[in-house]
Structure 1
Amino acid sequence: MEVFNKLSFLTELHLQDCGLSGSISSLNPIIFTSLSIISISSNSFRSKFPIWLLNLSSLVYIDVSSNKLYGQISPGLEELPNLQHLYLSKNKNLTGINTLALSNASISGSIPNWFWNISSQLRFLSLSFNKLQGHLPNQLSRISLTFIDFSSNLFEGSIPLPNPGCLGLDLSKNKFFGSIPAKIGESMPNLKFLLFSGNQITGIIPESIGYMSSLEILDISRNSLTTSIPSSIIAFTSLRILELRSNAFSGGLLFYFSNLSSLHTLDLAENNLSGSIPSTLGDLKAMAKKKYLSPYLYRLYISFKSFEDSLTVKTKGQDLEYIEFLSLVVSIDLSSSNYSGEFPKEITKLSTLMILNLSRNNIIGSIPQNIWRLHELTSLDLSSNNLFEIISSSMSSLTFLGYLNLSNNNFSSKIPFIEQMTTFDEPAFARNTCLCGPPLIAKCQGDDLDQRQGKSNIDDENDNGFIDQWFYLSIGLGFATGILSPFFILGIKKSWCDAYFNVVDKIIDKSLGLRRRGTIGRNHRWQ
């Protein structure tokens, strides 16, 4: 690195993706007093944040991303008067000083107080996937941040409220506890994204959440929220994703789902909800037509890590993460609750539904015959219910169905093992005591008789074929014998041959005489 110490005239230094390693702290900052651009990204530098950068007042552009820097960012960034572009994240590029992305940068400890001084200029802030801890300060509400992502850290304490102009708040996967602020809806009425999943939040969802009329994503899953789901949610006509799984909500579903006209992902699984699934579930209009991500959201997801197109959906018995695919995922998960009543036939109106999970409930009735209308269904889990009667044969036409689980029910009769249904193995139909036929080992009543009849018919056909062959063979042999025998016998002795043909000649002459007399008689009568 000594060669760089002699280049005092440099204004730009580009060393990105050069396979460099070691420490960058040994560089002499006095030599780089004219430096306006420095880019050393995508290398293997291992050191603390280079303090000497803070002394280069001419810097306009800094990119030290995708290295192995560690520790806290030193104070002084706010004193660089000309800085316009700052790239510090391991994986994310930044577009200006109004955006600061430090996600997945191995930063630990608490956020220093000086950081909030430079934050006054920020609009986008992402500190996700680090090991930051402690309490978030009250001055967060005084910073004009538009989008905040503190997810996947070790923050704790009560939930802070940003400024009223905030559009996106992600505090998921931390250790926040206590209740959701009662006036959260009034404090942030313009919020579009609210993600509190994976914390230790208790209490209820406050009614004031109904003030967030522009809310598009609400994820408060995997907490300890109780009581019923507030009816104020049905003011969310723009809501696209509702994730409330793994809480302690009780009561029934009282939603007027027709008001949730933009909803295409509904996850209320693993709660204590009860009652029947309302027929208005079939009124979710966004699940009955194709959807396209708006250009505004597309740009937003690209520019900010927290709100990129990603979603974790529980299917096939495991959590599957959809990345840059969320706008296309259409799913309903009401599993592991206490729902009863009949299978909601109105679900078949949702023609673009891809994932349906109603497992581990007390649902009765049968699978509707018109389930074929869910022609884009890729995953169907109805296991561990009380469904009965036959399995609808129309399921065989669900050509996109890749996962099926109908186990632990009371289905009876023979499995319609045709077309798409032939792609599923025995576990998909297991533990249905009255179910039979392939792929199960259990045979259906009459299968043995059918097999015996089939074998008998085959044997009869074989026997008849054998008889027919001998019949025609015997005729052929008889005909050949009748024709060839006289020639064989007469050819033995000439005298026998002469006598035989004399007799034949007499018969022919006699026949011709009779024919002539008969002809003369007819002619006489006509005269």
Structure 2
Amino acid sequence: MAIDLSHNNLSGEIPNCWGDYEHGLLMEINFSFNKLSGAFPISISKLSSLLWLHLNNNHLEGKLPLTTMKNSKHLRILDLGENKFFGSIPSWTNNAFPTLQILRLRDNMLDGNIPIHLCRLKSLKILDLANNNLSGSIPHCIGNLMGMTKNSANIWKSTNQPFEGTDFIKTCVNAEWHDQDVKQVMKGREYDITGILNLVVNLDLSNNNLVGLIPLELFSLVKLIGLNLSHNHLKGEIPEIIGNMKFLESFNISCNQISGTIPKSASKLTTLNHLNMSYNNLSGPIPTENQFLTLNDPSIYAGNPYLCGIPLQNNCQGDNTHQVPQTKELEDENDLEKLWFYFVIAVGFAVGFWGVIGTFVFKKNWRYACFRRVEDVADEIYVYASIKIAKLKRLLTNHVHG
């Protein structure tokens, strides 16, 4: 049983009179993309059979009700994004949300730290906390999110949770996953993901006020397809173990204070097709193997003045892979210019030489006239020089006797 009133112009508050029904199990509530306001109806927490809850893109406000949802042991999707919820993300008991796979709280006004209770969501595959006011550091226990490290079959074994009406619930989950729809920002764009939603693994903590080092444990989430930590105040280096994230397609750490070099192991990310490392403190050469050959947009690395190599204009010192091809190209261009220069000189000389000499060879009268003219000029020069010398001698003689 499902209630889907999404994509309408509904306004007002959501009624607070929910409870399990005698004649059917309510498994889905979808009021997304409306104009609903007011607080989250606490009575929804009484729906023990609820699998999918979509209240995103409304004007709901108040504090998050997660601590009251003790009966939601079968919940797979909790989407409260694009609302006006404020305050911190609350903590909850250890056995809450054992099967939750998608927690989407983006575009709210949440503040405070990321609670360590999030690390207990063993089945979580999508955690979207982007565009809030979260502060503090990323908890080291984030590596405990087994849904981002193992296959789905392993997750079910590891959670080992008893379910009431297990067979019926599992049948509904398998039948209705393909109908579920959640928006995710990946690869710099917003995607409306449906059909394959249970296969997407994404972590988005962007546009917050997170500080401190990026925990090493975060890079153990090897099933991640998308990882976005951009627009925070994170420090530290990218560890070598990033090369183990074989499924990573989108990686964004732009607008932070990340330092150090880009690990050589990053070239092992053969599925990577969207990368943004701009405006950090990265240094050293950019990898030139595998996917990095296709990631040739300089804006990917902008704002890192100490990065060098292709596709940037900064040459790396001693980087033969970057400098030798460029030097060879310049030498080839110089050789071509020299060749044309010598060719033009040779043609000009040949034309001039044969233009004059050839004329004298074939025109005898011209040749004789030229020679006579040369002799006449030589005689004139001789006579002129003799007269001048004679005058000079007379002047010298008169000066001596006088």
TM-score with structure 2 setting the length? 0.71
Residues 60-113 of structure 1 deviation map (CA, whole Å, 9 limit, x = unaligned): xxxxxxxxxxxxxxxxxxxxxxxxxxxxxxxxxxxxxxxxxxxxxxxxxxxxxx
Where 1:256 maps in the other structure, the secondary structure is helix
Q: Tell me whether 1:248 sits opposite 2:124 in the alignment.
A: no
The residue matched to 1:154 in structure 2 has which SS?
coil
How many residues are aligned here?
A: 306
Q: Which residue matches 2:64?
A: 205
1:280 equivalent among 106, 126, 141: 141
> Which digits, 9 at most, give the CA deviation of each residue in 1:473-494, with x for residues without a partner?
xxxxxxxxxxxxxxxxxxxxxx
2:389 aligned residue:
none
Matched position secondary structure for 2:267: helix
Judging changes above 3 Å, is the alpha-carbon distance between structure 1 residues 404 and 427 closer, same or farther for their aligned structure 2 residues? same
Q: Which segment is superposed worse, 262-271 or 207-216?
A: 207-216
Find the counterpart in structure 1 of residue 381 from structure 2: none
Question: 1:270-307 deviations in whole A, cap 9, x for unaligned?
Answer: 000000000111101111112269653232346xxxxx
Question: One-letter code of the match for 2:232?
Answer: N
Change beyond 3 A, Cα 1:233–1:268? farther
Measure how far apart 1:451 and its partner are. Answer: 4.7
Query: Which structure has more helix as a fraction of its residues?
Result: 2
CA-to-aligned-CA distance 1:86-143 (integer Å, 9 cap, x gap): xxxxxxxxxxxxxxxxxxxxxxxxxxxxxxxxxxxxxxxxxxxxxxxxxxxxxxxxxx
Change (3 A) 1:205 1:450: closer
Task: Tell me, in whole angstroms, the C-alpha distance in 1 between the residues paired with 2:255 and 2:306.
Answer: 15
Letter in 2 for 1:417: T
Secondary structure of the 2:230 match is: coil
Q: Please list the CA deviations of residues 192-228 of structure 1 after superposition, one character each: whole Å capped at 9, or x if unmatched.
A: 2111100001111123123322211100000000001
Quote the sequence identity (%).
37
Q: Deviations over 1:40-75 (max 9, x none)?
A: xxxxxxxxxxxxxxxxxxxxxxxxxxxxxxxxxxxx
- Equivalent in the alignment of 1:164: 20
Name the counterpart of 2:125. Answer: 264
1:47-446 → structure 2 map (5 Å cutoff):
146-160=1-15, 161-165=17-21, 166-185=26-45, 187-206=46-65, 207-232=67-92, 235-291=96-152, 295-301=171-177, 308-425=179-296, 426-446=298-318
Which structure is richer in relative contact order (CA contacts within 8 A, separation 6 or more)? Answer: 2
Deviation string, structure 1 residues 235-256 (Cα, Å, up to 9, x no partner)? 1111010000000000001133
What is residue 365 of structure 2 aligned with on the other side?
none
Q: Which amino acid aligns with 2:313?
A: I
Secondary structure of the residue aligned to 1:383 is: coil
Q: Give the SS at the match of 1:280.
A: helix
The CA RMSD over aligned residues, in Å, is: 2.5
Deviates more, 1:420-429 or 1:330-339: 420-429
Report the CA distance between 1:436 and its aligned residue. 1.0
Kindly provide the amino acid, as one letter, of the partner of residue 169 in structure 1: I
TM-score by length of 1: 0.55
Letter in 1 for 2:11: E
5 Å-filtered alignment, 1:490-509, equals none
How far does the alpha carbon of each residue in 1:18-43 deviate from its partner, in whole angstroms, 9 at most, with x for none?
A: xxxxxxxxxxxxxxxxxxxxxxxxxx
Look up the SS of the partner of 2:38 in the other structure.
Answer: strand
1:423 CA drift (Å): 1.1
Matched position secondary structure for 2:271? coil
- CA shift, 1:230, in A, is 1.3
Q: 1:402 and 1:282, CA in 2 relative to 1: closer, same or farther beyond 3 A?
A: same
Per-residue deviation at 1:181?
Answer: 2.2
Alpha-carbon distance in structure 2 between the residues aligned to 1:416 and 1:170: 46
* Paired residue secondary structure (2:284): strand
Deviation of 1:183 after TM superposition, in Å, equals 4.0
Deviations 1:358-403 (A, max 9, x none): 1111110111101011111111111111001101111101111111
CA 1:342–1:242 in structure 2 vs 1: closer, same or farther (change >3 Å)?
Answer: same
**In the alignment, is the contact (CA less than 8 A) between 2:10 and 2:34 conserved in 1?**
yes
2:92–2:117 Cα contact (<8 Å) kept: no
5+ unaligned residues in a row in structure 1: which ranges? 1-145, 303-307, 459-527
2:377 alignment counterpart: none
Following the alignment from structure 2 to structure 1, what is the Cα–Cα distance between the partners of residues 254 and 76? 31
Instruction: Give the structure with higher Rg (CA).
Output: 1
Deviation at 1:446, TM superposition (A): 4.5
- Rounded to whole Å, the distance in 1 between the matches of 2:60 and 2:323 is 62
Q: Please say if residues 240 and 265 of structure 1, whose CA atoms lie closer than 8 Å, have aligned partners that are also in contact.
A: yes
Question: What is the identity, as a one-letter code, of the residue corresponding to 1:164?
Answer: D
Residue 348 of structure 1 and its aligned partner are, at CA, apart by 2.1
Q: Deviations over 1:129-183 (max 9, x none)?
A: xxxxxxxxxxxxxxxxx31000100111111244423221111110110111244
Provide the C-alpha distance between the structure 2 equivalents of 1:446 and 1:392, rounded to a whole number of angstroms. Answer: 18
Residues 168 and 447 of structure 1: is their aligned pair in 2 closer, same or farther, counting only changes over 3 Å?
closer
Please tell me whether the aligned partners of residues 75 and 99 of structure 2 are also in contact (alpha carbons under 8 angstroms).
yes
In structure 2, how many angstroms separate the alpha carbons of the residues matched to 1:276 and 1:284?
17
Between the aligned partners of 1:225 and 1:333, the Cα distance in structure 2 is 18
Q: CA deviation at 1:445?
A: 3.3
